[in-house]
Structure 1
Amino acid sequence: MTATERYREGGEKADLDLVLSAFAEDAVLISPLTDRVRFTGKAEIAEIVQVALGRIEGMRFHTDVGDERTRTLVYAGRINGVAIEESALARLDDDGLIREMTLFVRPLPALVELMGAFGPDLARAHGRKSAARALGVLIKPLIGMVRSGDRFGLRLVTPRRR
């Protein structure tokens, strides 16, 4: 089984060990939220993957394309009831393991839900309960703005249909 097959199957089965078996020991996972956050090495990657497996519901991969050095994987699922689609650009090493993965999330409401869930969960995992509470408070206005913009504001820019 290839690294991307293990990654996909592990994600769909919420199997942390199977997902991690796809990564090289010194792999880097690049956040979809900011260029300022990278998870380096299997221990750090395990933390974020554990949060993802606990938060993303119904993960089903529908795309795995590329060659022996570069693959793109895409899944659809839900986070807090919001549809999410995530693409991962995986760069593989000489052993076929993922050495670098860059994540991209759409649509915006899903990205904001992801931010609202993952930040506090990671802070709690590091024993930073106050930071987790602060992050939860800081993200709530953004979640509210994005939800209402997605629900009501889009009508202002979409074509009128008869």
Structure 2
Amino acid sequence: MEQPNDAVTAWRTAGEAGDAAAAVAALSPDVTLISPITERFTFRGHRQVRDLLEVALTLIDDITYTDEVAAGRTVALFYEARIGTTRLYEAQRLRLDDTGLISEITLYLRPLPAITLLMRRLGPELARRNGQPGLARLLPLAGGAMHSMAATGETRIMPRVAPR
């Protein structure tokens, strides 16, 4: 059986507590976080990842880690949470550096309405933090349209084609 990793334990505890500063303490200084929303950008280093976590951990409630699987210096974590009343499920692939700190995080989210809701709420604050107030005002409109389509598909269209 794999030995528990202090950085992974700290990361889990910080996520469940909504503590961005404690989460960053578990990360390598040159950490890379690969966005679950788009392949177009990656967060690099403590500052960028901290900015993302400070916003995300205020939007995502009741994070509860359910599973952990480790092989060598790669750990897969799974949690359940919610954004408002929308359920969210996330898988995280963590890669550890030689010192045991988390050096790479790849996030995977489901279902689609949770992703679009997160994008709609996360995007404007990240744009403001990046000095783009005009984009911060536009993102809720674009995100709102995508979220409306995803939520309608989830609640009204896809149930009609579910296995019987």
TM-score (norm 1): 0.94
Correspondence for 2:36 among 32, 42, 46: 32
Contact 1:80–1:113 (Cα < 8 Å) also in 2: no
Aligned to 1:152, what secondary structure does the other structure show? Answer: helix
Partner of 1:78: 82
Separation in structure 2 between the aligned mates of residue 6 and residue 33 of structure 1, nearest angstrom: 24
Separation in structure 2 between the aligned mates of residue 121 and residue 88 of structure 1, nearest angstrom: 23
Partner of 2:126: 122
Separation in structure 2 between the aligned mates of residue 140 and residue 33 of structure 1, nearest angstrom: 15
Aligned to 2:89, what secondary structure does the other structure show? Answer: strand
Partner of 1:153: 157
Offset at residue 27 of structure 1 (A): 0.6
* Letter matched to residue 139 of structure 2: L
Separation in structure 1 between the aligned mates of residue 82 and residue 128 of structure 2, nearest angstrom: 22
- Where do 5+ consecutive residues of structure 2 fail to align? none
Query: What whole-Å deviation, never above 9, does each CA across 1:68-90 have from its counterpart, x for those lacking one?
Result: 40000111110132000111100
Aligned to 2:50, what secondary structure does the other structure show? Answer: helix
After superposition, residues 16-95 of structure 1 pair within 5 angstroms as: 16-95=20-99
Superposition RMSD in Å = 1.2
* Letter matched to residue 158 of structure 1: A
Query: What whole-Å deviation, never above 9, does each CA across 1:102-144 have from its counterpart, x for those lacking one?
Result: 0000111111111111111101222322111101111111111
Contact 1:68–1:96 (Cα < 8 Å) also in 2: no
Contact 1:27–1:98 (Cα < 8 Å) also in 2: yes
Offset at residue 159 of structure 1 (A): 2.8
Query: What whole-Å deviation, never above 9, does each CA across 1:47-95 have from its counterpart, x for those lacking one?
Result: 1011111100111111121134000011111013200011110010000
Correspondence for 2:115 among 111, 116, 140: 111
Correspondence for 1:6 among 10, 32, 36: 10
Identity rate, percent:
36
- Where do 5+ consecutive residues of structure 1 fail to align? none
Separation in structure 2 between the aligned mates of residue 141 and residue 89 of structure 1, nearest angstrom: 30
Separation in structure 2 between the aligned mates of residue 128 and residue 159 of structure 1, nearest angstrom: 45
